[in-house]
């Protein structure tokens, strides 16, 4: 059975632009990490001894099946398409995931898995959904899912994650480092809102959207580039011990990254 790659991402920059109800609106540059990915495939339930009437995910996950983004993606897809062939597929097959992207790390592993699963189903079952339609379904699962649906190497992501605009630039060879600190994104955003809230204006948004990623990394400190770094440090004081000079902070953490072989 074909193996599909679910790539990680880093946030070259992440700035808050405002609020929308309980969400924060952002402008961020997402960049795909070509060297880090989970591997997904469909496997026959007969081959793995799984029951026909249960949704089965095989993989090293810290969450329950019901909490898994792939499971949520299945229900979002089923509700949108009412596809009998989709139900049949998941009655006869399990989804096998070889996890390489750390969880709770700001690298988008769960979102990438969900997006990849949606694309797998669309391809295998000939559902005929466009990338835009898949992205809309994916948004029900998580704010970062649309980026992974489109599969861009680099993109400006805004709104709450639903606006994804490809950014044409050279792909960077990204190296990630993830300390064993499991970070809660909602907790970090709450501290940001309570203690650090300072949205940037439209002029700064436009400047960032037009600036190449390598230039951002060369000219902005981790704190300047990512509005969530200081709130994360406040919430998880042990993070400071893991910070290394020359690294930037991805998402709400806990991963740090840098460009390999770059001074």
Residues designated as active site: 9, 144
Residue 228 is encoded by which pair of tokens? 């969530």
Q: Where are the alpha helices (DSSP H) in the chain?
A: 45-48, 69-81, 84-92, 109-124, 131-139, 145-150, 185-191, 202-210, 213-219, 222-225, 229-235, 239-242
Cα 259 to Cα 72, 112, 135, 246, 251, distances in angstroms: 33, 21, 29, 9, 16
Asked if residue 183 lies in contact with residue 46, where contact means CB atoms within 8 angstroms, the answer is no
DSSP class per residue in 104-171? SSSS-HHHHHHHHHHHHHHHHTT----HHHHHHHHHTT-TTHHHHHHT-SEEEEEETTTEEEE---PP
Asked if residue 28 lies in contact with residue 156, where contact means CB atoms within 8 angstroms, the answer is yes
C-alpha torsion 254→242→258→155, nearest 10:
20
Burial bucket for residue 228 (CB in 10 Å: 0-12, 13-18, 19+): buried
The residues that bridge with 20 in the sheet, in sequence order, are 23
């Amino acid at each position: 059975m074909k193996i599909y790659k679910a790539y990680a991402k880093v946030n070259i920059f992440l700035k808050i632009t405002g609020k929308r109800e309980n969400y924060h609106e952002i402008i961020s540059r997402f960049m795909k990490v070509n060297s880090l990915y989970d591997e997904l495939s469909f496997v026959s339930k007969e081959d793995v001894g799984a029951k026909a009437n249960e949704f089965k995910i095989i993989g090293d996950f810290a969450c329950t099946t019901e909490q898994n983004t792939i499971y949520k993606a299945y229900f979002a897809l089923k509700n949108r398409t009412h596809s009998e062939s989709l139900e049949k597929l998941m009655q006869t097959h399990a989804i096998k995931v070889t996890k390489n992207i750390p969880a709770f790390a700001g690298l988008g592993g769960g979102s990438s898995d969900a997006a990849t699963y949606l694309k797998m189903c669309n391809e295998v079952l000939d559902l005929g959904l466009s990338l835009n339609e898949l992205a809309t379904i994916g948004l029900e699962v998580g704010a970062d899912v649309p980026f992974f649906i489109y599969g861009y190497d680099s993109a400006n992501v805004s709104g709450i994650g639903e606006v994804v605009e490809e950014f044409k630039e050279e792909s960077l060879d990204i190296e990630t480092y993830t300390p064993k600190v499991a970070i809660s994104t909602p907790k970090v955003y709450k501290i940001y809102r309570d203690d650090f809230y300072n949205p940037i204006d439209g002029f700064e948004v436009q400047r960032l959207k037009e600036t190449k990623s390598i230039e951002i990394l060369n000219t902005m400190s981790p704190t300047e580039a990512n509005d969530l770094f200081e709130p994360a440090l406040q919430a998880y004081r042990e993070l400071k011990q893991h910070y290394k000079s020359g690294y930037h902070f991805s998402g709400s953490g806990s991963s740090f990254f840098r460009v390999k072989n770059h001074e």
